[in-house]
Amino acid sequence: MTGLERGRYRARLASDACDLRAAQRLRALAFHGEGDGLDSDRFDAICDHLLVEETRSGVLVCCCRFLPLAQGREIGRSYSAQYYELSGLESFEGRMVELGRFCLHPDWHDPDILRVAWAAMTDYVDETGVELLFGCTSFAGTDARAYYDAFAMLKARHLAPLRWLPRVKAPDVFRFAARLRRQPDAKKAMSRMPPLLRTYLMMGGWVSDHAVVDRRMNTLHVFTGVEIAAIPPARKRMLRALAG
């Protein structure tokens, strides 16, 4: 992916250490409210980093990172494998990519930013021949009660196929598929669903049957997978039209 421009925004992969630090600064601001800090970990060195910038000012308004894996046997290298037992996915034979640390600048709310980001991600997936996109999708805060309808909706409609289902590994989890017996209120469920997860679900994505409580990041997150071959044709056409 050499670069993509749409309207006010351009998307490109980080090319040097300065680009990486800019992404780490945005992540610190978006995840921790730290304007001068850096959000970094050992995975940064082995990932590709996507940057979305406002063209005129050069302000970084969105970023995420990609960890490409040749096949399922490599999934133990992923960030997600710290929190989920993923042996079921070791038999996946196609190329995979983990999408992580997705964030938007808290002062920028233009929906075109997300459109450009998804166009760039579509380019990346197509160019690298990815067959499974996966990652941890986060709900803000660690109080699961705020998201009961959303979790009930995930249980009712979006659990992973049994052969891929992630098992419990983290010490602190909310087992929503086992605990919740309620019928979800669809309106409440979708209003509380994180925007990134809503997009995954519209592409036919599926999730783990439990959420990990991550107190360091102050989030609840679910493992999320999207099998590229299973994305509805109309959704594929829309994404590829964005990518242009």
Q: How far apart are CA 234 and CA 238, in angstroms?
A: 6
Supply the pTM of this predicted model.
0.94
Distance CA 131, CA 1 (A): 17
pLDDT value at position 75? Answer: 98
What CATH number is associated with residue 66?
A: 3.40.630.30
- The reported pLDDT for the residue numbered 151 is 98
User: For residue 185, with 0-12 CB atoms within 10 Å meaning exposed, 13-18 middle and 19 or more buried, which class applies?
Assistant: middle
| Structure tokens, 18 | 């300065």
Average pLDDT, the chain: 95
SS3 181: coil
pLDDT digits (tens, 9 = 90+) for 133-184: 999 999 999 999 999 999 999 999 999 999 999 999 999 999 999 999 999 9
Closest to 207 measured CA to CA, from 152, 170, 169: 152
Which residues have CB under 8 Å from 61's CB, separation 6+? 9, 52, 53, 54, 104, 105, 108, 110, 113
State both tokens at 59. Answer: 């302000």
The contacts of residue 19 (CB under 8 Å, 6+ apart) are: 49, 51
| Residue range of the domain that includes 135 | 4-243
pLDDT, tens digit, for every residue of 44-56?
Answer: 999 999 999 999 9
In DSSP terms, which residues pair with 11 in a beta bridge?
4, 52
pLDDT number for residue 104? 96
DSSP β-bridge partners for residue 84:
168
Q: 108 with 183: CB under 8 angstroms?
A: no
The gap from C-alpha 15 to its chain's centroid, in whole angstroms, comes to 22
CB 235 within 8 A of CB 228: no
Looking at the DSSP bridge assignments, the partners of residue 211 are 174
d(CA 191, CA 199) in angstroms, rounded, equals 13
- 117, with CB counted inside 10 A (0-12, 13-18, 19+), is buried
* pLDDT for 236 beyond 90: no
pLDDT in tens, 183-230: 999 999 999 999 999 999 999 999 999 999 999 999 999 999 999 999
Number of domains in the chain: 1
